[in-house]
Amino acid sequence: VNNNGVVSFQAAVSQFTPNPFPLANGRAFITPFWGDVDNRNGGEIYYRQSTEPSLLQRATADINRYSPSLPFQAQWAFVATWDRVAFYGSRTSK
């Protein structure tokens, strides 16, 4: 989980500014919150895996609602939260 709103695989993604997809260098990552985030002036980043039944039910319902042709049943979920982080270049706004 990177500080910039990106969850990457195999290598960190340190750039703050989002680029259009696909990226030329082929880095593998997902971007749940790639919004020019910079937490050097505050804010917290949390992540966890969960098997909480209510969370799994919600994830299952959401995936099945938007992808009805792909039957899905969540067994676990990865939750990442960028809490009160500022945008790049910000001094006070969170």
Q: Tell me how far apart the alpha carbons of residues 66 and 79 are, in angstroms, rounded to a whole number.
A: 19
What is the pLDDT averaged over residues 60-81? 95
User: pLDDT, tens digit, for every residue of 40-62?
Assistant: 778 899 999 999 999 999 999 99
Residue 78, both tokens: 């990865």
pTM: 0.77
11 within 8 A of 27, measured Cβ to Cβ: yes
> What pLDDT band is residue 94 in, cutting at 50, 70 and 90?
low
